Each structure stands twice: as structure tokens, then as C-alpha cells.
Amino acid sequence: MISMIPSWSPVFPMRLLLLIVIGPFFVADHPEIVGLTRVAAAEEPDYPLPPEAHKQEGVPEGKIEGPFTMSSKIYAGTERNYWIYVPAQYAADKPACTLIVQDGLGRAQGWNLPQICDHLIHAGEMPVTIGIYVDPGIVPATKAKSQPRFNRSFEYDALGDRYARFLLEELIPEVSKKYSLSSDANDRALAGASSGGICAFNA
């Protein structure tokens, strides 16, 4: 189940667009909380994707740039990849809105987000928006037989202001070196699923 919740945070002063996915086990155990009826899996119809989630003739396509890699002082020792969605209507002399998606390109493509943004921007139902699809950090392995440490839970599930500071002080300034982004908090949004939804809400 996906819900879209507009909100505002004093720590990260943005109007948020949160995509929060309720875990299937929780829903199965507590259908009354989300107003669901227990239905056998075989009887559940496939969710039909709306036309906006598919490429459409006559709709200009944005481009995906990246991956780019960045380090962090706030999460010392980590590296992470990020990708940039640039709508066809973007113009450097007009600061764009920003949509930051946690869990990177895989999450955004799983939602068909580039196609949805293409359609909505073309239809005038969404302002020109740069998408920043950012992965959680990874601490690289330091020994030949060791594995990298994934920093996702430390970043996404914590309830302090650290991730908000990472966005405001490191990620957005880094992307702003190449793209013209609006500094108005009302022109920014965050999206995430599961723990990514937690950090989007908290930030």
C-alpha cells in the first residue's frame, strides 16, 4: 500500500512528498488498521499502472545522468552513487524544483518515476523538477577478503538531523554545481520506501 503524505519539517524545511510502503507482513497481520479485507493471493488482481507510468508518443523524455560518486564528511568514510533526472524542459536560467529519492536509480525506476515526471511536467501538472536519485552510503572494504559495510540503516533509520544535514550541506550543493536548483523550501520534495520513507519523513 502506498500513500502520499504532504508534510513540513522544522529540521529540513521542505514540503515533503513521501511514498511510504507498508510491509506486506504487517498488512497481512493487521488488515483492520489499513481498512483491508483478507483476500487470497490468487484472487488479488494485478495493479494496473496508469498511462502516466508509461512512455507516450509526443511526450518529451527526460534523461538520466550518472552514476556519479561522492564522499561525505557528515558520514565520514562513506561513498555513494547518485543519478540525476533532467527533464526535457529544464533550462539553466530557470531554477528547477528538486525531488530527492532515497535508494537511488533502482527505486526510481521501480516506480516508473522518470516516465511519470515526463508526463506530468509535459501536461503542466508538475513544475520542471530535477530528480536526485541517491543511494545510501557504503564504507569500502579495507582488506582483500573483507566486505564493504552498508550504511543504509545508520542513515535512514536514525532520528537525528544528520541525514537532513547531509542533504542540505553536501548533496544539494554538490548537484547545484552543475544544475540550477531553486533554494525555496516549497520547491523541494523527498521520497522513499520502507526505511527510505522513515528518513524522508524525519528529514
Task: Name the DSSP letter for residue 94.
Answer: S
CA distance 147 to 144: 8
Half-sphere exposure of 20 (CA within 13 A, CB side): 16
Domain span holding position 38: 2-47+56-202
Positions in the chain short of pLDDT 70: 1-45
Q: Can you tell me which residue has the cell 542540505?
A: 168
CA–chain centroid gap for 50, Å, is: 20
How many CB atoms are located within 10 Å of the residue 89 CB?
15
Can you give the pLDDT at residue 41? Answer: 53
Q: H-type helices in 84-161, by residue range?
A: 104-110, 113-122, 152-156
CA 193, CA 139: separation in Å to the nearest integer? 22
Domain count, the chain: 1
Residue 138 and residue 76 in contact, taking contact as beta carbons nearer than 8 Å: no
Q: Supply the pLDDT for residue 27.
A: 43
Count of alpha carbons within 13 angstroms of residue 38, beta-carbon side: 6
- The torsion angles phi and psi of 82, rounded to 5 degrees, stand at -145, 155
- Alpha-carbon torsion angle 119, 1, 7, 111, nearest 10: -30
Q: How do residues 100-126 score in pLDDT, each as one tens digit? A: 999 999 999 999 999 999 999 999 999
DSSP type of residue 27: H
Residues 6+ apart with CB under 8 A from 109: none
Cβ neighbours of residue 31 closer than 8 Å, sequence gap 6 or more: 37, 38
Residue-level pLDDT at 141: 87
Verify cis geometry, omega within 30 degrees of 0, for the bond prior to 136: no
> Which pLDDT score, from 0 to 100, does residue 146 have?
82
CATH number of the domain within which 81 lies: 3.40.50
How confident is the model over 68-81, as pLDDT tens digits? 999 999 999 999 99
The burial of 120, by beta-carbon neighbours within 10 Å (0-12 exposed, 13-18 middle, 19 or more buried), is given as middle
